[in-house]
A and B are shown apart, each in its own frame.
Chain A
Amino acid sequence: MELIAAAALGKFIGAGLGGIGSGMAAIGVGNVAGNFLAGALRNPSAAAGQTATLFIGIAFAEALGIFSFLVALLLMFAV
């Protein structure tokens, strides 16, 4: 009985810890966008051609946050 309760508790704690991963990914995405903006303000004429690179960078930074989100979802609904 206590073991089941502990498992249920651990599930929720683990899902909550997964939120840290999402927060870290938010920092990463902010880094990418901020550095892009810093570069774009220095050389605005080159910025338009690099928006695709910006989105690719954001997508890759976001991917690892998505994995932690996925782990949280799996803990909440699948385990």
Chain B
Amino acid sequence: MNKSHPPLWADRLLEWFCDPHLLEEVQGDLHELYGQWVEQHGLRKAKWLYIVHSLKFLRPYSIKRLSVNNPTAMFKNYFIIAYRNLWRHKIFSFINIAGLSIGLACCMLIFLYAKDEITFDRFHKKQHQIYRLTALITDPEGSSDPWKSGSTGMVQGEAFKNEIPEIEKFVRLKEFTFIIRKEGEVFNESALYADSNFFSVFSFPLLQGNPETALRDIHSVVLTEELALKYFGTTDVLGKNLALGVEGEFENFVVTGVAEKAPQNSTIKFSILLPFAHYAGKHPDEQWLNFFLNTFVVLHPEADVKAVESKMAKVFKKNAREQIAEAAKNWGFNNQVTFGLQPLADLHLNTAWYLGNGLVDGSNPIYAYVLSAIAVFILFIACINFVNLTVAQSLKRSKEIGIRKVAGGMRKQLIIQFLGESFVICLLAFTLAILLAQWVLPFFNQLAHKKLSLSYLLDTDVMAGSVTLLLITTLAAGFYPALVLSGFQPVKVLYGKQKLTSKNYFAKSLVVVQFALATFLIIGTIAIYSQFHFLIRKDLGFEDDNLVSINLPWWEDNGKVLELFKNQLADQSSIVRIAGKSGGRYGTNVKANGKEMGTDYIRIDENYFPTLQIPLIEGRNFSQDFPSDTIEAVIVNEAFVKEAGWKEPIGQTVDFFTKQQKKVVIGVVKDYHFRSLKEKIGPQLFFQYPDVKYGQIWVKIRPDDIPQTLELLEETYRQLVPFYPYEYQFMATINARQYETEAKWKQIIQFAAILSVFISCMGLFGLTTLGIEQRTKEIGIRKVLGASVSSIVTLLSKDFVKLVVIAFFIAIPLGYFAVDQWLQNFAYRIEISGWIFIVVGLLALLIALFTISFQSVKAALSNPVNSLRNE
């Protein structure tokens, strides 16, 4: 007899799929045949035949039945039971579904947000090859942080491209503002100068025109659809002329292309593109140490970034040697400049390098983190509701579980049933969440500075994410209840002896977590509110009420315009005073009291301090009685005096080393907040030197008839500067805008707090309802024996109040830490005082008590006859 054995794995396979009561004969027959095959055909063939023939037993009649139940009937039953349970406990179903759908909707919005953030600038075909040139400027002593400049000059791109073979192309981008006239009106339009290969580097499709040649001619212009419609009323504009004005003169450009609007997830945004050659022709610049535009380079796909960077350092050293020496001689420039490469995809979320010049919408990744954390918090709170309510309700279903087990239900089946139920609830919530997300999306967009649309969800990544989210939620919410419920022992249950452990620490700690999160968010809200209030109301050291700021044209000697403006309006009673000041913000290094120091400086006229009502502490204001003031005099602020260490500031000299001039201090003004309150008041210098042009007119008006006064201002301005757009703003608006970010955070945290408190309270409400239902008899007996309403309410509320208080004490240190971290952003900030926490604690307690009271008072007032009658 041949003792060789048929392939073991085939045998195992057969044992696995074959119906157990057929297995013996089938396997016996096969083994018998195998013996014959070995003799007839040899071992190899026999093994092969054995495998083939055992697989042939994969027939309906011989395959193992998965279970003896009829699965369809079972699942049908599950669905009926799930549906009945949902329907019977409407309140709890509502709480669960509403909470979960709010949480899921939050998560969906964050998905959209995160996806948008991550996919920024990824649509360019050459995205992996495109880098921006950056410059790191460090001073040799390392005394201050290096200056990270995202900008470069005009020469670097070309020099690097010529001398480094890995660099295939370069594009420079420079923003410039033009004036466009249309039917007597004038508009400011921001244009972007770009090298002619712009469209071959970046993937911005042209609707009309040839991308290769569109920017080749020096007087060509590419418009977006939007702009073409604005100025021509049609998008069919190829070959038409567009007059762009700068410095008072207009030049004609021929439209050579119409571009689609840049997608919203593009850092490069433009409405008008002009050939860079036009800019270079008017403003030639050979300086390596100027940083004022963006240079992008395209590297060879296999280029090594580090190697290219070290080559750039060599090229810089070689080409800029003379200029560096000159700068060192003339201005004492001894800084180290290192050029680097920043990947295109890095632009959006890297806050370290300045954007600008056509690059917009930079974002801080912290937003994505904080928003995600909030969304997860809210979903988590909703899941806790589900867990707690399901477990607390489980006693009602214990009979069902007992019967199922007696009838042969396995624990695994019960777990599947309960998970299935939570899946149904999550699915309902998910559907609602999509509707909810759709509904609040416009509002969210405004809050998050985005233009998202729900159609972004129809993307495999996001879809996969959503489905995962749904499954995770199902598991998070349903797993623990399923485990508890399926663990009931049928004997106990059917004799009515099953009890949830009376302590139930798990459920209690979940409530504590819920309320700790909610309290944490309330603390955040109140802190942000107080700080915001503080920022808005803080005495800035000057009067910004009824102060109007008007932009001046920047090209000619606009001092004349200012004088004319003052003269024209001199006898208007509605205008208090008119002052001029340089636009923007300038800083420089000066030498005072023998030491070098940095300071802000602005050009003002003699009306500046009176208009802003900034008091002089010492000395005098500029005056037209002293003509030499224009050249020789400066006024400084208190911080400057302190920094310089002067005891007697009047008559001291300040040494401008860039201008190589000495100026005499004639006055000291009180410190005022010329910057945002995030920064400390630093040294500031005021002078009248005409080198720096005026940028703005500040007009203090009377509050009586503001619209008419504004009209008067506009008329006067248009008369004096006919071809320049009139733009004005109230100073108070400008000041408030500095805190836009804070205002957004305020809203976001506020909504998070409201939602989390709302969902937590729904959960609390559900839990009290259940607790009271179970204690109906107890309450009835207590009432019969003479308990008062208040004592019963206290009894019912006590446990929950305890949990809320514990949660509060957990939230305090966390809240304190987070708020303290956030406040570090502000040089001027509120003190975190105890009252914030007291208010929050009381608030949380009140909200909890209020929620509980709905049910507890009702229970306490109910007639004991009703609860005791039916036994």
The yes or no verdict on A and B being binding partners is no
